[in-house]
A and B are shown apart, each in its own frame.
Chain A
């Protein structure tokens, strides 16, 4: 089921949580809404589900305008951050809930419901736990019960709010892989919210990066990591360093000095801007005559197979720190002088 969000605005007490957001979700896609807290990602998810009503704009499910449909009519599977399992019901009753509340004419017979529940329990690898109560399950198991419960109604779209937020690191990783397999097997259009970029980049077909009620960028993991389209996305996704620079005579200058790199096609040709680069995308410059960024090592730390150095490239009056990766054999002791040049970078106009 395609889902199309068109020019959505959502205000809470006059304060806009979402401002003119449009997004097309393709059928069968696994999509991540990624952003810091307060970016509006959960609000967007709840709007798609019908748990909130938009102030302006519309939401289409396929060709059908679902904007004014109730949450029941939208027929979506929603997995809540804290699962919201019914604590007084067994796991089996929880999963069966969406079927048992149907009107008599639409409700499958009891035996059929029982069969469906068994099937779903099997699908989420929880066979034999149907008689347990939610508080007798681990966090990861509850998560899967919540998913099975949402899947029981054969939803048109599956929506997950911070699906792994409340789990410990190891279970998170396992479940992440499992959810990807699950999605590939069932083929449901799936949207999940996360603030964990690693999760979004690893799991999703496309990542929607959000900030302050707006969509900053929509793209594959490669797109948002390698070709971020805004300073926000560059600094939010992955590690990065930024420098206030000027572009003069076809070269990028920092503090008035040449850096040895020039703006590429599509970058600003002159004026002030901000230079972004990743810590690993730098090369040390050994030739003292060649122009480069220059600074002193403030601190450095060993990080697995690499060394990360915090370098002050500013002046004594205006210190400016950047973190870069340096070869293990380079002198990165505190106070050492280092000259380097970004090998890949992005320049954003001020």
Chain B
């Protein structure tokens, strides 16, 4: 009997050869293009031992790059959190003219090359622009300074929170909010005690992705930063500079820090998905 049963296959299951072939292909691809390079980063970082690896972080320029990256993330992520929640709230809960346009606009940074995102600010604030001379005469530095880097990072990362929340909030509808209002809650109380708890895991998920991108962004930041060592170099830019100077151990040491951040993000993201899968799933229908 046992072999009779085993012979039955669900209609969507292919023959073993096709199945294992596809799985092997997927794993091979991942190993070749993801795991191998990732491993290479860590191997290169520790090639000359732990001492050299740690020594790389003693360099004041490296420390400055790490500090700057954290500073940018600390400014950009909360701003995008506020913007993301506000935009998602408006799109999911209100009907207004230009809603479809706003939804499309939010996706813009995903569809535009990061280099363009950076160039936009050069055109806007550069010395050849209309604003440039005025800014210069007032001593306001945006380009090749921290404000420019923050602006470029915000631009690149603003879809993450909003896109995570819009489908989630649309899915949840306005029933809970109406219930809270009918019970006498104010608008703020409704948001604070009803809406926010309903979206918290989706929000955390969006913030996590937003943060990972904010810290790892290269293209847009590279255009506006000017790459002044110790001043306007973020971690990804610093990695490139070190590498170009043949300082491989230091380059890979900093890179391993970024890769480590990515791995932590991945683990937390997976844990969130396991624990709050249903709530987040609504946000991934797009």
Q: How far is the CB of A156 from chain B (nearest CB, A)?
A: 12
Contact A84 B184 (CB under 8 A): no
Q: At the interface, yes or no: B51 with Cβ under 8 Å from chain A?
A: no
Contact A75 B178 (CB under 8 A): no
Q: CB within 8 Å of B: which of A87-130?
A: 87-89, 97-98, 101-102
Q: Provided the pairs A72-B186, A97-B185 are in contact, do residues A80 and B179 lie with their beta carbons within 8 angstroms?
A: yes
Q: Which of A71, A78, A88 contacts B197 (CB 8 A)?
A: A88
A residues within 8 Å of B by Cβ?
A: 49-51, 70-72, 75-78, 80, 82, 84-89, 97-98, 101-102, 149-150, 152-153
Contact A49 B175 (CB under 8 A): no
Q: Provided the pairs A88-B197, A101-B193 are in contact, do residues A82 and B175 lie with their beta carbons within 8 angstroms?
A: yes
Report chain B residues within 8 Å CB of A88. 197-198
Q: How far is the CB of B173 from chain A (nearest CB, A)?
A: 9
Q: Which of A75, A86, A87, A89 contacts B184 (CB 8 A)?
A: A75
Report chain B residues within 8 Å CB of A49. 182
A-B CB contact pairs (8 Å), 28 listed: A51-B181, A51-B182, A71-B181, A72-B181, A72-B182, A72-B184, A75-B184, A77-B182, A78-B178, A80-B178, A82-B175, A84-B176, A84-B178, A86-B176, A86-B179, A86-B197, A88-B197, A88-B198, A89-B197, A97-B180, A97-B183, A97-B193, A98-B183, A98-B184, A102-B184, A150-B182, A153-B183, A153-B184
Q: Provided the pairs A71-B181, A72-B181, A101-B193 are in contact, do residues A84 and B186 lie with their beta carbons within 8 angstroms?
A: no
Q: Provided the pairs A101-B189, A101-B193 are in contact, do residues A84 and B183 lie with their beta carbons within 8 angstroms?
A: no
Closest residue of chain A to B189 (Cβ to Cβ) is A101
Q: How far is the CB of B84 from chain A (nearest CB, A)?
A: 20
B residues within 8 Å of A by Cβ?
A: 175-176, 178-186, 189, 193-194, 197-198
Report chain A residues within 8 Å CB of B189. 101
Q: How far is the CB of A100 from chain B (nearest CB, A)?
A: 9
> How far, in angstroms, from A118 to B8 measured CA to CA in the complex?
57
Choose among A70, A88, A150 the residue with the greatest number of B CB atoms under 10 Å from its CB: A88
> How far, in angstroms, from A97 to B176 measured CA to CA in the complex?
12
> How far, in angstroms, from A98 to B189 measured CA to CA in the complex?
11
Contact A84 B175 (CB under 8 A): yes
Report chain B residues within 8 Å CB of A84. 175-176, 178-179
Contact B183 A51 (CB under 8 A): no
- Tell me the dominant secondary structure on chain B's binding face: helix
> How far, in angstroms, from A197 to B181 measured CA to CA in the complex?
30
Report chain B residues within 8 Å CB of A98. 183-185
> How far, in angstroms, from A80 to B179 measured CA to CA in the complex?
7
Choose among B176, B179, B181, B194 the residue with the greatest number of A CB atoms under 10 Å from its CB: B179
Report chain A residues within 8 Å CB of B198. 87-88
Contact B186 A101 (CB under 8 A): yes
Report chain B residues within 8 Å CB of A76. 182
Contact A149 B175 (CB under 8 A): no
Report chain B residues within 8 Å CB of A72. 181-182, 184-186
Contact A51 B178 (CB under 8 A): yes
> How far, in angstroms, from A75 to B181 measured CA to CA in the complex?
10
Q: Provided the pairs A76-B182, A97-B180, A153-B183 are in contact, do residues A86 and B175 lie with their beta carbons within 8 angstroms?
A: no
> How far, in angstroms, from A101 to B181 measured CA to CA in the complex?
10
With A72-B185, A84-B178 given, name 4 new contacts (CB 8 A): A51-B181, A82-B175, A98-B184, A101-B186
